[in-house]
Structure 1
Amino acid sequence: MRHSETELMLKGYGLTTAEFYYRMPDYRNVLNSFIWQDYDLAPDHPRLFEFIEFWQDQIEGPLHSVRFTHRKMIAPGEWRNVVGELTLH
């Protein structure tokens, strides 16, 4: 079952963006790139590594390198409890 994006963010998932550089199967001197995004858990990144395993098993173009970044969309510092009230006039 796939959860909604909001549910994933509340469970601690963040958006992971990865750029894959791979060699063309017929032209080994040519590097191509592929962009992948999904919600994932840092620091282990299970979905990213699952996709890398899929790539290595199913895609003919061998990987040259992978660059990725991770950003939590909802962080604990964004929520705070306000206990006071200011009356103006």
Structure 2
Amino acid sequence: MERSETELMLKGYGLTTAEFYYRMPDHIHVLNTFIWQEYDLAPDHPKLFEFVEFWQREIEGPLHSVRFTHRKMISPGEWRNSVGEFYLN
């Protein structure tokens, strides 16, 4: 079962964005980039490292480097359920 983005954020996940620099298989001196985004857990980043392993195993273009950033957008302490109605005249 796939979880919603809000459920993931409440469980501590944050948005991880990675920029992969890789060499073109036919032109080894040419670098290209690929952008990847996924909700992941810091500081271990299991989904990011799973993707890096997939790349090394399945993609012909050898990796040159990877830059990434992680942004935790919401935490359990920041979320609260509000029940009620407000009327503005």
Q: TM-score, normalised by structure 2?
A: 0.84
Deviation (angstroms), 1:59: 0.3
1:78 Cα deviation (Å)? Answer: 3.8
Aligned sequence identity (%): 85
- In structure 2, the gaps of 5 or more residues are 81-89
What CA deviation, in whole Å up to 9, does each residue of 1:29-83 have, x standing for no partner? 0000000000000000000000000000000000000000000010366458xxx
Inter-partner Cα distance in structure 1 for 2:47 and 2:79: 27
**Greater CA radius of gyration, 1 or 2?**
1
Q: Report the secondary structure of 1:25's partner residue.
A: coil
Query: Which 4+ runs in 1 deviate beyond 4 A?
Result: none
Q: What CA distance in whole angstroms lies between the structure 2 residues aligned with 1:27 and 1:40?
A: 33
Return 5+ residue gaps in structure 1 as ranges.
81-89
TM-score (norm 1): 0.84
Instruction: Measure the CA separation in 1 of the matches of 2:20 and 2:63.
Output: 7
Counterpart residue type for residue 71 of structure 1: R
Aligned CA RMSD, in angstroms, stands at 1.4
Aligned position for 1:56: 56
